[in-house]
Amino acid sequence: MEIVEVKNLRKTYSTRRKKVEALKGISFEAKTGEIFSLLGANGAGKTTTIKSVLGLVIPDEGEIFVNGINALRHRNKAARYMSAVLEGNRNIHWRLTVKENLEYFGHLRGMGGRKLKERVREIVEYIELTDKFNEIAGKLSRGMQQRLAVGIAILPDTPIVLLDEPTLGLDVESSMKMREILKDLSKSGKCVILSTHDMNLVEEVADRVLIINNGRMVAYDDKEKLMDMFRKRAYRIVLDGSVKSGVVEKLSRFGDINIKTNGETVIDVQLDSYDEIYDLFDILKETKLPLKRIEAEDVRFEKVFLKIVEGSDGK
């Protein structure tokens, strides 16, 4: 079920020298029990989108609905359903301990008494900071601070959690823990909206993806469908033997192609259309070399992202 609906968001920032269009018609729906990723390079418009949903930025145009509530008209009502981790751990008080941070933000969300104490203990165990319970937040490592920020966000148990660049600057171990937390949140039925430029994170945890480039939507679909779109056109062909230079010249017309010859010939090719595979094999017939194997290339999401963004740059 869709719990967040964003329709045609537009936002322009004005500076002394010029106006910058941060958002140019961003629309999407995010569902309960899924990890929805806003993916793009720095400055693409991801953070502005996240802050618009949270009510921290007011868009010039568009609509935002949170659990059926018009979030632009009723920001306080919509805010009850959301919690967030903003880039740079901005929901942490550096001079408070882990315990004090959780209790402070719990009180802000209307929690208190025994219920809050039990919830704080539960969260501290979950984010694996029990041994840092009375440690000042400013003295924690970056990874621990990020886990505390997530703990604060999930403390009130809201159905929607928004995270802006949650793995930025983390070491490998902390990044892996963050991935586990994101997966756990979606499995528990929460809607997780994730803003990132970390391709590996998206590939591992995201269910659906919106790719933003220069404030504009350039792709919006299930992650696997986006990957399949390119996987079907990427092939590795292995021939038993070496192809002659004349054949290599003919193959060069297939733009994105890489040929390696060392006893056998390995051809990695990206085709613009499915029909081109037949044209390719017409040329390969001339070699009269045995075909050892042909396989669809294992496409990483980074390649998908680059192809989509490259194709959108001229728009």
Query: How many Å is the Cα radius of gyration of the chain?
Result: 24
Structure confidence at residue 155 (pLDDT): 95
Kindly tell me if the per-residue pLDDT of 128 is higher than 70: yes
Residue ranges per structural domain of the chain: 2-228, 232-298
CA angle 156, 158, 164 (to 5 degrees): 100
Kindly tell me if the per-residue pLDDT of 69 is higher than 60: yes
Strand segments (E) across the chain: 2-14, 19-31, 35-39, 61-66, 69-70, 82-85, 160-164, 191-196, 208-213, 216-222, 234-239, 256-262, 264-270, 291-296
Q: Which residues, other chains included, contact 132 with Cβ-Cβ below 8 Å and sequence gap of 6+?
A: 98, 140, 144
pLDDT digits (tens, 9 = 90+) for 217-230: 999 999 999 888 77
Q: What percent of the chain has pLDDT over 90?
A: 63
What does the pLDDT average to over 302-310? 83
Structure confidence at residue 306 (pLDDT): 83
Number of residues that this document lists for the chain: 315
Of the listed ranges 23-37, 92-106, 256-270, the one predicted with least confidence? 256-270
Structure confidence at residue 12 (pLDDT): 96
Residue 16: pLDDT band by 50, 70, 90 thresholds? confident
Round to whole Å and give the CA distance between 59 and 8.
10
Tell me what the pLDDT averaged over the chain comes to: 90
Round to whole Å and give the CA distance between 257 and 236.
10
Structure confidence at residue 64 (pLDDT): 98
CB 72 within 8 A of CB 58: yes
Residue 89: pLDDT band by 50, 70, 90 thresholds? low
Round to whole Å and give the CA distance between 221 and 209.
6
Round to whole Å and give the CA distance between 70 and 243.
64
Round to whole Å and give the CA distance between 267 and 243.
10
In terms of pLDDT, which residue wins out, 302 or 24? 24
Q: What percent of the chain has pLDDT over 70?
A: 97
Structure confidence at residue 185 (pLDDT): 94
CATH 3.40.50.300 fits 2-228, yes or no: yes
Span 232-298 CATH architecture: 2-Layer Sandwich (3.30)
305-311: long-range contacts (C-beta < 8 A, 24 or more apart)?
A: 305/39, 305/199, 305/211, 307/230, 308/211, 308/218, 308/219, 308/226, 309/41, 309/211, 309/213, 309/218, 311/218
pLDDT digits (tens, 9 = 90+) for 252-300: 887 678 888 888 999 888 777 777 888 888 988 888 889 998 887 777 7
